[in-house]
Amino acid sequence: MILSVSRRTDIPAFYTDWFINRVKAGFVYVRNPMNYHQVSKVALTPDVIDCTVFWTKNPVPMLGKLGLISDYNYYFLVTVNAYDKKIERHVPETDVVINAFQNLSEKIGKLKTVWRYDPIFYTEDIDLSYHIRNFAKIASQLKGYTGRCIISFADVYRKTKRNMPSLKPLTEYMMLEMGARLSEIADSYGIEIMACSEKADLSPAGIKHAKCIDESLISGIIGRTICVGKDKNQRDECRCAASIDIGAYNTCKHGCLYCYANYSDSLVKRNTLKHDPDSPFLTGGIEPDDKIIVRDMQSYISSQTSFFNPV
């Protein structure tokens, strides 16, 4: 199986100790976001986890813990946007994240260190020139530390619009214009640019569709072919391979105004107060009405073929 850590919250930034404790214990309990008392017991042993995908805006807490997950295959998706503190309220300074990105890449290699520039949006103050300037600055600092950048244009949810009323709608022409400029910059620094979960065809701008959880990338990392289908739990536009996410909504403390995974600051505060690094749950514990189901786990590694990665 492929483990997602996590689309729902930033486990590397805020819950590294908890994750390492769960790895040592060999399992984790995960609540179903749509059915609170339905709990899955997910095995975390190397024989069933083909690869772990870490999503984070701050890999610093993981840098000293990598030796504790040496038995596992993994890669990191590190978001570096350079939005200001009014938007990404509690994300560390960009220079701190870039330095951590560089350190991470030096430890694990650029194949396993993927840059996300996501989400892209326009406001009165944030326009094409803003993105070109900041993207180029970040790309210049990540040259040689990554081979891939995944971009995504903002989906304007009701909560996002409430938090950011100045958001401007993006037309396909605007996306193509932006994509072409960013693609040119990325190419100049030896970085392949790809787009996540976009209906728009950005191929005229030299941008392919991306898979953040990418079975081809995983096959290259582990040296074996992975046979896994699309994740049916994601949007139609999402091409990610199937995975199991062990995060929980309303637990990320970055406080980004565009976030889809937090409903309110008060919920985040309440849930993070219930966090115990020794609990099998990310937040809280066993409750009387909980029904625990052992998740059926299996490896996706093909027994027939090997994968040669020339990189």
Say if 247 falls within a structural domain: yes
pLDDT tens-place string over residues 37-93: 999 999 999 999 999 999 999 999 999 999 999 999 999 999 999 899 999 999 999
Q: In which band, very low, low, confident or very high, does the pLDDT at 129 lie, cut at 50, 70 and 90? A: very high
Structural domain contains residue 141: yes
Asked if residue 284 belongs to a domain, the reply is: yes
pLDDT tens for 138-179 read 999 999 999 999 999 987 777 777 888 889 989 999 999 999
**Token pair listed for 138:** 């970040």
- Domain count of the chain? 1
**Mean predicted confidence (pLDDT) in 28-34:** 97
Q: Tokens for 291?
A: 């029904």
Tokens representing 230 are 């699309």
Return d(Cα 254, Cα 181) in angstroms, integer. 29
| Average model confidence (pLDDT) across the chain | 93
Domain-embedded: residue 6: yes
Domain range holding 31? Answer: 2-306
CB of 195 closer than 8 Å to CB of 207: yes
Using the 8-state DSSP alphabet, how is residue 255 labeled? Answer: -
Quick one: three-class SS letters along 180-201? HHHHHHHHHCCCEEEECCCCCC
In a domain, 109, yes or no: yes
Q: What tens digit of pLDDT does each residue of 257-279 get?
A: 999 899 999 999 999 999 999 99
Instruction: Average the pLDDT over 191-209 and give the result.
Output: 91
Residue 72 has, within 13 A of its CA and on its CB side, a CA count of 24
Q: Is residue 39 part of a domain?
A: yes
Q: Pull the structure tokens for residue 229.
A: 């289908």
Answer whether residue 311 is part of any domain: no
143 CB neighbour count, 10 Å cutoff = 14
Q: Which of 157, 90, 143, 154 is nearest to 118 (CA)?
A: 154
- Non-local (6+) Cβ contacts of 27 within 8 A are 41, 42, 43, 44, 280
Counted residue by residue, the chain has a size of 311
How far from 22 is each of 52, 181, 280, CA to CA, in Å? 14, 43, 7
Backbone angles phi, psi at 187, to 5 degrees: -60, -35
Indicate whether 165 belongs to any domain: yes
Round to whole Å and give the CA distance between 208 and 216: 14
